[in-house]
Amino acid sequence: MSAPTLQGGLAGLLDPIVAVAEQGLSAIEFERPLALFLVPVVLGVGVLAVVRDRARPTLRFARSDDASALPRGAGPVFRLLSLVLMTAAAALVAVALSGPFVRGEPDPASTEGIDIVISLDISGSMRAADFRPKDRLFVAKEVISTQVLSRPRDRVGLVIFAGEAFTQAPLTHDRSLLQTVLDGVRTGVIKDGTAIGDGLALALSRLESSKAKTKTVILLTDGDNNSGTLAPETALGFAKETGVKVYTILVGKGGRVPFPDGVDVFGAPRYVTVDVPVNPTLLKNIARETGGAFFQAGDKRSLETSFQSILESLDKSVLDGSPPMRRPLPLSSALALPALLLMGAALALRHTRGSIVP
């Protein structure tokens, strides 16, 4: 057995014992508590075995003074001890079958995470076809789903904006809800335009009650601010005041891009070229001033890389509303070992000093 394997096996035996010593017997829980009913059954069988053994017929002598002169052997005592050891071993096995465990220290892998609000541009220009065969919004939703919603420890919220901004989902761990909401996001449902200031400010408001160490907004847009009630610089001031990191992603290269314009007489998609103004300087400034980073994605792969870089750079923190998950430490192995030792000792006594065969 290698050293790491041996250390892991010893930890598996010692960790739950140490946890019980620190927390007390009341901290023990059971996966299959009904199996504990086997314990009194085992103890009852053990008592019956002891009674039966003591009632065993004895060798009778014609003269009692001859019998009293014989040395008193220790065989019956060892035989009784072997029965007690067997009963104890069987009782330990019965307890082990009930799946006892004690909860250890909180598992860092299950208690750490970040609070993320995604502010997603759904303006008409997100239908641009430079991400063929799908448009920008379709690819953005797909990447958000695979890169962000696949992280179970993080809380995620979703804000959409075009000419105005709306909250689609508050911060939550409910991935099913988030996926359903994200699937329903599309262009053309709100006034068109690109209100970057409103989209950022609303995302920041979703983080006001967050107690996470790191509060983050990922702002994804393909254009320049041209509508809304709040200037991006004003929203930037809010972000700096609250200590929220803003990561900005510019989708597409801007300028003249193909845009769907119905189908031709043969049913094939038809495209026209439209000009989409962008402002990377604004997005770079927002990211730099808040401690985030700016990315530009011209295709699906670069968009995936942008999200991966953002998520890997974020500090992890314990989230409000995500109770620490304490790792269960099973006690079955710790009970099985003494049970085997007791059974071995009982069999050894039974076939040596406690044997009924002279």
3-state secondary structure the chain: CCHHHHHHHHHHHHHHHHHHHHHCHHHCEECCHHHHHHHHHHHHHHHHHHHHHHCCCCCCCCCHHHHHHCCCCCHHHHHHHHHHHHHHHHHHHHHHHCCEEEEEEECHHHHEECEEEEEEECCHHHHCCCCCCCCHHHHHHHHHHHHCCCCCCCEEEEEEECCCEEEEEEEECCHHHHHHHHHCCCCCCCCCCCCHHHHHHHHHHCCCCCCCCCEEEEEEECCCCCCCCCCHHHHHHHHHHHCCEEEEEEECCCEEEEEEEEECCCCCEEEEEEEECCCHHHHHHHHHHHCCCEEEECCHHHHHHHHHHHHHHCCCEECCCCCCCEEEEECHHHHHHHHHHHHHHHHHHHCCCCCCCC
Residue 235: the pLDDT is 96
Confidence of residue 29 (pLDDT cuts 50, 70, 90): confident
Residue 4: the pLDDT is 42
218-260 pLDDT, tens digit each: 999 998 999 999 999 999 999 999 999 999 999 987 778 887 7
148-194 pLDDT, tens digit each: 998 888 899 999 999 999 999 999 989 999 999 999 999 999 999 99
Confidence of residue 3 (pLDDT cuts 50, 70, 90): very low
The more confident residue out of 35 and 236 is 236
Domains and their CATH numbers in the chain = 3-106+326-350 (no CATH), 109-318 (3.40.50.410)
The more confident residue out of 300 and 261 is 300
pLDDT surpassing 80 at residue 268: no
The more confident residue out of 175 and 339 is 175
Confidence of residue 1 (pLDDT cuts 50, 70, 90): very low
Model confidence, pTM: 0.60
Mean residue pLDDT of the chain comes to 82
